[in-house]
Amino acid sequence: MKVLIKSIAIIATCIGLSFGVLALLAFVAGPSKSGKKTSKLTSKADEARMYCNQNYFNEEFCILIDMSIHSGKNRFRVYNFKQNKVTHSYLVSHGCGDNQWTSDQSKRSPEFSNVEDSHLSSLGKYKIGKRGWSNWGVHAKYSLHGLEESNSNAFKRWVVFHSWDMISDEPTYPTGTPEGWGCPAVSNESFKEIDKLIKSQTKPTLMWIYK
């Protein structure tokens, strides 16, 4: 009996050590970087879906813009709620602030503001409003209505969604996207694709700029 008890104790100790080693390895390895990015997008999409359902917004898709991504990479995403995935992705500009207009000086770490004449983009959820004529790109734009304290001045700051000849159709990394005065602008061809999607909806579409 003593031998049996001793054997059981040895086995239990070995199992405990094995679990301990596995836990240590998991801690050292840390979370998967790809998993972190996926969960962030999924989390934003889930929150956007709920917001659209509760506020009479377009329930087919939304626009998610992740400003933590280098501006030379596709950080403008059209997320389809029905398919639960990104169906389109594009380059998008942000505000230059005190930097030179059209430069890419803040391609890695843009600043944000809700202050008039700051020439910076504003974080937060937006309702995409009326379509109108624009001086830029394909000569069409959409008004943007800020829905949060962080972007409440967007409409009176003339922050709109438009196209811009200077923006590429393809990623430019490690070069960034030319910076404007705060509008989320895309390339002409990108705008044409997004324009069709927005015009196909009877309810307003949500645009969410975050980092």
Percent of all residues in the chain with a pLDDT value above 90, rounded to a whole number: 82
pTM over 0.85: no
Edge-to-edge strand order for the sheet containing 61-66? 85-90, 76-80, 61-66, 206-210, 124-133, 140-146, 160-163, 185-186
CB atoms within 10 A of CB 133: 7
CA-CA distances (angstroms) from residue 147 to 25, 100, 115, 194?
44, 29, 15, 21
38-47, 79-88, 103-112, 185-194: least confidently modelled range: 38-47
Q: How confident is the model at residue 39 (pLDDT cuts 50, 70, 90)?
A: confident
Q: Identify the pLDDT of residue 41.
A: 96
Q: Mean pLDDT, to the nearest integer, of 8-13? A: 42
Residue 8, pLDDT > 90, answer: no
Tens digits of residue pLDDT in 157-176: 999 999 999 999 999 999 99
Mean pLDDT of 32-50: 78
DSSP 149: G
Summarize pLDDT for 117-162 with one digit per residue, the tens: 999 999 999 999 999 999 999 999 999 999 999 999 999 999 999 9
**57-104 pLDDT, tens digit each:** 999 999 999 999 999 999 999 999 999 999 999 999 999 999 999 999
